[in-house]
């Protein structure tokens, strides 16, 4: 098992999934940690059952051919499968924080589809703390929010870990997204001094959504690579986390070139 994807800060790991881009000492988005890997397993049928299994396709074909009343009406076009993001928070989040995150995800997913067509098909959002027992969905992705996701003003610290990541198991990127809220708060804390609670919730929601959409692209495309620009780029700063925030884009602390 290997860990793939995430927004990281701090020391570069030897197994970084993408090469440095010349501007950052580490890969801020994705990390790769080697783990032991188990051998594949299979279930083999007993000898008699294997013989029966050989004849089952022929029996099915015979029954199909003998069905005289079969209707050959054209089947309707298959609709695109929707993806359901089921989001679990390690620390309790207020309803206003959930609402801000969901609003940001809906907006972020829309723009993400323009960069990554693999995200098309629609999206549903489910809170892990209110999930209905026995819920069944076609294409679920579990999202885990680690740490405290409440954004508070704080001095600037050099981020030391990943902002988010996904895992690679036997060559497949698994549908489990991890987001480190504590790292995001360290990135945004110096920026939010003077913001009211509603505005802080919106800013934090936008940043978390940006990380989630980035990792979702890895899962949807089954590709650990990155783009040069946009949500799929290999490293994020504050301007990248809040790329869709109108007020931040007008902030003189961020030169216009940062948004290109």
State the pLDDT at residue 205.
Answer: 98
User: What pLDDT, in 10s, does the model give residues 184-211?
Assistant: 999 999 888 889 999 999 999 999 999 9
Is pTM, for the whole model, over 0.85? no
State the pLDDT at residue 157.
Answer: 73
Contact (Cβ atoms closer than 8 angstroms) between residue 157 and residue 101: no
Measure Cα distances from 248 to 128, 139, 253 in Å: 30, 34, 9
User: What pLDDT, in 10s, does the model give residues 131-177?
Assistant: 988 888 889 999 999 999 999 998 877 766 889 999 999 999 999 99
Neighbours of 17 (CB within 10 A): 22
Largest Cα–Cα separation, the chain: 77
CA distance 46 to 109: 48
State the pLDDT at residue 116.
Answer: 86
Which domains, and CATH codes, for the chain?
2-36+81-259 (3.40.390)
**Residue segments in the chain with a per-residue pLDDT below the cut of 70:** 1-80, 159-160, 253-260
């Amino acid at each position: 098992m290997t860990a793939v994807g995430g927004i990281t800060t701090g020391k570069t790991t030897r197994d970084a999934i993408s090469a440095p881009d010349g501007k950052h000492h580490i890969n801020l988005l994705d990390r790769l940690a080697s783990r032991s890997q188990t051998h594949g397993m299979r279930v083999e049928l007993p000898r008699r059952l294997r013989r029966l299994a050989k004849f089952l396709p022929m029996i099915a074909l015979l029954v199909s051919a003998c069905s005289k009343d079969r209707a050959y009406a054209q089947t309707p076009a298959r609709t695109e499968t929707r993806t359901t993001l089921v989001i679990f928070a390690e620390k309790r989040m207020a309803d206003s924080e959930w609402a801000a995150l969901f609003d940001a995800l809906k907006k972020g997913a829309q723009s993400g589809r323009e960069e990554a067509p693999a995200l098309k098909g629609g999206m549903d959002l489910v809170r892990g703390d209110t999930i209905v027992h026995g819920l069944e969905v076609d294409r679920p992705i579990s999202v885990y929010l680690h740490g405290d996701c409440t954004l508070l003003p704080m001095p600037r610290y050099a981020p030391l870990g990943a902002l988010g990541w996904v895992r690679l198991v036997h060559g497949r990127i698994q549908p489990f997204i991890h987001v480190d809220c504590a790292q995001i708060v360290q990135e945004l804390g110096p920026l939010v001094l003077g913001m009211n609670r509603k505005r802080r919730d919106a800013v934090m929601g936008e940043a978390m959504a940006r990380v989630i959409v980035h990792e979702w692209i890895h899962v949807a495309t089954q590709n650990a690579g990155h783009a040069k620009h946009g949500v799929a780029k290999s490293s994020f700063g504050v301007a990248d986390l809040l790329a869709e925030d109108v007020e931040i884009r007008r902030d003189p602390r961020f030169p216009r070139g940062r948004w290109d």
